[in-house]
Structure 1
Amino acid sequence: MVIRYFFRLILGLLLLNSSAALAESNSTYKLASGDVIRINVFGEKDLSIEEIRLNDAGIFSYPFIGDVRAKGKTAAEIEQLLTESLKGDYLVDPRVSVSVLTYREFFISGEVKEPGGYPFQPGLTLRRAVALAGGLTERASTGRISIIRDQDASRTPEQATLDTVVMPGDTITIDQGFF
């Protein structure tokens, strides 16, 4: 009986910790083209949107407001923008929540078995990204990995290791090793 209680307590703490990490990543995550978000306005079914994908410019259309530029903003910033826009003319005290449903893909090419685009997952490292791509080929070099960050306007490749954190939109290239 005590063991079961202890197990449930540990499991509960682990789940709480993982949801806190996800909430933290959502609070600093900058939206961009390809992200899918959910907008909920408490008590207003017509203003709540279950699923909306940001277009190529990082914009979505919202009732009564029109086009909303989400690119480069966090979900909390979109919540605030929608709350301010709906307040007064449309609603007295709107309660808006915005959450990220699907993150944009990251891309991996070079010496992996299945190169291509894969859905981003919070906490993703290059090691896990390689696993999603079927693993390394026989010719792969773990010392010659470059990553181009989607957020980097200069698109300059930087050296990476298998422990490097992967972000949505990143492009990863794994080169051949010389034998």
Structure 2
Amino acid sequence: MKSLVSKLVVLVFFCFSSGKSMANLGEYTLGAGDLVNITVFGEEDLFVETRVSNVGVIKYPFLGELQLIGKTVNEVERIIDEGLRGDYLINPTVSVSVIEYRPFFIDGEVKRPGGYSYQPGLSFDKAVALAGGYTERANKAKVNTKRIIDGREESLELSVGDIVLPGDIITIPSRFF
């Protein structure tokens, strides 16, 4: 038991000391380009499959435009439930799922730079593999990543086991011999 507690303490310390907050490791937040599926049990007219627009909104029956960017699937379910409850439905059962995630991008010293489909749990080394691997000039020690965090673009350094998120822009720099 002591061993388990000490491992948990080390894990929590690692997460905070490495600059990653627990929120970054938590639930996925929606962004522009995500394809979402919204269903309300027993209400076929309220089924919607739509892509989140560049400004982060979708149009939903009876509720109009909904701002989804930065919200989790659970938050969107709650918003739709509260909007439909009472005036339109007595007890709606709302389900929201992400059908297609927005892509991540990788450029620089990889064999096939470009945009790639995100897959949940995608690690940095797997992202490099999707892009055909490193070129012979790649500087593997210093990888720059741009990521939107709390509405602001942040610059991060990734290493082999780190998780890639949708919308990330990964740049593999050249090394000098």
TM-score of the pair, normalised by structure 1 = 0.81
1:136 aligns with 2:97: no
Given the alignment, which residue of 47, 70, 77 partners 1:72?
A: 70
Instruction: Note closer, same or farther for the CA distance 1:61–1:158 as it changes in structure 2 (3 Å cut).
Output: same
Matched, 1:36 2:35: yes
Query: Secondary structure of 1:68's match?
Result: strand
- Specify which of 162, 174, 177 is matched with residue 175 of structure 2: 177
Identity across aligned pairs (percent)? 48
Q: Say whether the 8 Å CA contact 2:148–2:154 is kept in structure 1.
A: no
Match of 2:148, SS state, is coil
State whether structure 2 residue 118 is matched by structure 1 residue 124.
no
CA root-mean-square deviation: 1.6
Structure 2 unaligned residues grouped into runs of 5+: 1-23
In the alignment, structure 1 residue 110 sits paired with structure 2 residue 99 = no
Structure 1 counterpart of 2:56, from 55, 58, 77? 58
Whether the 8 Å contact between 1:142 and 1:162 is mirrored in structure 2 is: no
Post-superposition Cα deviations, 1:90-123, rounded to whole Å, max 9, x if no partner, equal 1111110101111111110000011111111111
Looking at secondary structure, tell me which structure has more helix per residue: 1
Tell me how far 1:158 sits from its aligned partner.
2.0
Matched-pair contact (CA < 8 Å) for 2:121–2:163:
yes
Tell me the amino acid that sits aligned with residue 29 of structure 2: K
Unaligned runs of 5+ in 1: 1-24
Letter in 2 for 1:46: D
Counting matched residue pairs gives: 153
Q: CA deviation at 1:152?
A: 5.7
